[in-house]
Amino acid sequence: NAGVTQTPKFQVLKTGQSMTLQCAQDMNHNSMYWYRQDPGMGLRLIYYSASEGTTDKGEVPNGYNVSRLNKREFSLRLESAAPSQTSVYFCASSVSGGTVNTQYFGPGTRLTVL
């Protein structure tokens, strides 16, 4: 099992450019998440998908869109990148329902917007 994979690992964009961050999981999890981590801070939730076909806003959704392509894949799109979106982006997945439902994280994507 690869767990949660993310591409790319690093990306540099110019202000106004667009890009899509890809995430895939092979653990048959229903729920998937996108977080951002700014320097010296904890992770903040951007969007999540509780199950295939559904997406919901998290704490900091402005400037982002998501697509739950299928059960395995959950992508994050920046339509017009801004310097304030310079951050490390993490994708995570978990089972839904039940009890503890630990989230498993990908390795992250470091994005710099110039």
Partner 1 sequence: AQTVTQSQPEMSVQEAETVTLSCTYDTSESDYYLFWYKQPPSRQMILVIRQEAYKQQNATENRFSVNFQKAAKSFSLKISDSQLGDAAMYFCAYRSANNAGNMLTFGGGTRLMVKP
Residues in touch with partner 1 (CB under 8 A): 31, 33, 40-45, 48, 50, 56, 58, 88, 90, 92, 94, 96, 99-105, 107-108, 110
Q: Which helix (H) or strand (E) holds 101?
A: none
By beta-carbon proximity to partner 1, the closer residue of 1 and 14 is 1
Q: Kindly report whether the peptide bond that precedes residue 8 is cis, defined as omega within 30 degrees of 0.
A: yes
By beta-carbon proximity to partner 1, the closer residue of 14 and 97 is 97
Please give the C-alpha separations between residue 2 and each of 26, 35, 40, in angstroms, as whole numbers: 7, 20, 28
Shortest reach from residue 103's CB to partner 1, in Å: 6
By beta-carbon proximity to partner 1, the closer residue of 35 and 81 is 35
Residue 111 identity (one-letter amino acid): L
